[in-house]
Amino acid sequence: MRKTRNTLLFVAGLVAALAAQAEDTPQDTQVGSTENETAYFLSASVPEKEMAILMKAAEVQGIPVYFRGLVGDSMEQTAKYMMYMVTTYKVRGVQIDPVRFERYGVKQVPALVKKCGDHFDIVYGNVALNQALGMINERGDCRKKP
């Protein structure tokens, strides 16, 4: 009974946090005022084990992971999904930010975006995160200058 109660409290807390994020964050200003950022765009449609690998890779690099919206358009379903991913795969979670998806024109996932000033690069597909960062750093508008 105690485990079930704790689980329900965790889900309730996660739902409240997601709701607060969705309603209170001035996301458009946040994205627009970000000079440089790297972001990873995923979706619950990505197979679970692959999702865990991709999320862990982003966490190691300190790159935030974003979903466009709620899983099944439901706060409760999103909370349950994230609780499952966090407890099963020990990932940190995601942020929900449709404004970032729109700002960068992300239409498919996985997508890695690196923004530098007014420019940004996108690498689409199931490419190892280090490889995608390498591609941007070698050939992108945001490549590292020698």
Q: So what's the pLDDT on residue 9?
A: 45
**Cβ neighbourhood burial of 47 (10 Å; 0-12, 13-18, 19+):** exposed
* E strand or H helix at 23: helix 2-24
DSSP one-letter code for 97? -
| Model pTM score | 0.79
**Cβ neighbourhood burial of 93 (10 Å; 0-12, 13-18, 19+):** middle
Q: So what's the pLDDT on residue 145?
A: 64
Q: Are 143 and 137 in contact (CB under 8 A)?
A: yes
Q: Are 39 and 66 in contact (CB under 8 A)?
A: yes
Q: So what's the pLDDT on residue 88?
A: 97
Q: How far apart are the first and last CA of the chain?
A: 60
Q: Which positions of the chain have pLDDT values less than 70? A: 1-34, 145-146
Q: What is the Cα–Cα distance from 45 to 43, expressed in whole angstroms?
A: 5
Q: So what's the pLDDT on residue 33?
A: 58
Q: So what's the pLDDT on residue 15?
A: 47
Q: So what's the pLDDT on residue 29?
A: 43
Q: So what's the pLDDT on residue 128?
A: 93
